[in-house]
Amino acid sequence: MESILEQSRRNNPRLGVTGILCFTSEVFIQVLEGGRDEVCELYNGIARDDRHRDVRLLVYDEVSERSFSNWTMGQVDISKINPGLLLKYSKRATLDPFSGSGHVTMALISELVASASIMGRSS
């Protein structure tokens, strides 16, 4: 994971890409914001990378303004989150983005960002 963050923080400013990375020991959820070409190529690179399994797209939308414009690639350690916050958006008190709507996972991430401290370097 360190190398992912390192790579993101080296390449993203040049590409104009911002976002955050939420992780537990088992699952990564990454939010990418930027031009369509840049975001698609980053996603395609993830899909081609053999180190990842079960790559899924949850939400993909054209937005009129970014939510994470100040973060090259912020990071949130979800394993340290209050279980009630996970339950608010999930069936069980675990991070399980594979079941349920992608928009519900985005709502969880928005609340994490609003309540938890994002770590990392601002762009």
Which residues are at the interface with its own copies (CB under 8 A)? Answer: 13, 16, 18, 34-38, 40, 43-44, 47-48, 55-57, 59-62, 64-66, 69-70, 83-85, 87-93, 98, 101-104, 107, 122-123
Nearest Cα residue to 66 out of 31, 42, 93, 95: 31
Which is nearer to its own copies, 2 or 52 (by Cβ)?
52
Beta bridge partners of 47: none
Report yes or no: 102 and 58 within 8 Å, Cβ to Cβ.
yes
Which is nearer to its own copies, 10 or 88 (by Cβ)?
88
Report yes or no: 20 and 118 within 8 Å, Cβ to Cβ.
yes
CB of 75 to its own copies, least distance (A): 17
